[in-house]
Amino acid sequence: MISASFNIKSKLIGYVLVVQEFTFLCAQTVAGLVRPPWYVRETVIQLDRIGVGSLFIVVLTGLFTGMVLALQGAVQLEPYGATIYVSSLISTSVVRELGPVLAALMIAGRVGTGIASEIASMQVTEQIDALRAEGTDPIQKLAATRLAACLLMIPILTIITNTIAILGGWLVARLYLAIDSYFYWTWAFEALHAHDLILGLVKPIVFAFIIAMVGCYAGFYTSGGTVGVGLSTTRSMVSSSILILMSDFFITKLFMAYSW
């Protein structure tokens, strides 16, 4: 009984320590965004890796998401004779919810794990210690540049995902459901309101912060050699996905409570 109580207490202390370390890293990284030196070249490299490198996967994700929504939406609306309004279902679902979440999960799988594995490899090979020895702040050079790139590119990638998803829905609606293009695009745009667009942009910013910082935390706090690199990469993916889904719920709930 005493041993079990001690184990629970140790785990709770460990969780609190993780939260403390993560919060401290976030604070240092955000501070690194606003104070020199700014590593512009490193930031541009990360913009290319995150933005251009993830373009293909988010386009595919958006295309097939929109096409599936069109097919499923038509099945649900057909008994009520409202198949023509399938575009409203697609546009609101994608912009509010599916576009930001699916894009973030795909990017977390590609970008977040890449950040974690790269920094973890530098950690176990003592390259980060070498940066400190040279007088370079590794958090500012490695974490701040990646956070800046994520905050800039992930919202743009989400907008692309949303656009492609609505376009994919139009393809199915036009070729399979025989819905006139004019009615499709008219109802698609009329269904969107200002708070939908704001919600669709707030979520990617929060998700970008989560993806970047979880990846950096997993990388900086890696130990155990190459085995530790693999564990950190896996931990980054799992933690990012859970936090994205959790934050998605709370952001949606908050916007629903204060919607106008």
Q: What is the 3-state secondary structure (H, E, C) of 16-78?
A: HHHHHHHHHHHHHHHHHHHCCCCCHHHHHHHHHHHHHHHHHHHHHHHHHHHHHHHHHHHHHHH
What pTM, to 2 d.p., does this model score? 0.91
pLDDT at 3: 58
pLDDT at 180: 86
How many domains are there within the chain? 1
Nearest residue to 108 (alpha-carbon basis) of 255, 187, 209, 249: 209
What range defines the domain where residue 171 resides? 40-253
Q: Is residue 163 assigned to a domain?
A: yes
Q: Is residue 213 assigned to a domain?
A: yes
Q: What are phi and psi of 95, to 5 degrees?
A: -70, -40
pLDDT at 115: 93
Q: Is residue 3 assigned to a domain?
A: no
Q: Is residue 12 assigned to a domain?
A: no
Average pLDDT, the chain: 88
pLDDT at 5: 60
pLDDT at 208: 95
Are 235 and 112 in contact by the 8 Å Cβ rule? The answer is no
> How many other C-beta atoms can be found within 10 angstroms of the C-beta atom of residue 121?
18
Q: Is residue 247 assigned to a domain?
A: yes
Q: Is residue 25 assigned to a domain?
A: no
pLDDT at 11: 73
Q: Is residue 173 assigned to a domain?
A: yes
Q: What is the pLDDT of residues 11-38, one digit of tens each?
A: 777 788 888 889 999 999 999 888 888 8
Are 236 and 218 in contact by the 8 Å Cβ rule? The answer is yes
pLDDT at 91: 92
Q: What whole-number distance in Å separates Cα of residue 254 and Cα of residue 241?
A: 20
pLDDT at 4: 58
The enclosing H or E element of 181 equals: helix 181-190
Residues in the chain where the model's pLDDT stays below 70: 1-7, 9, 259-260
Q: Is residue 192 assigned to a domain?
A: yes
pLDDT at 82: 77
CA distances from 182 to 66, 161, 172, 188, 236 (A): 18, 22, 14, 10, 44
pLDDT at 1: 53
pLDDT at 2: 55
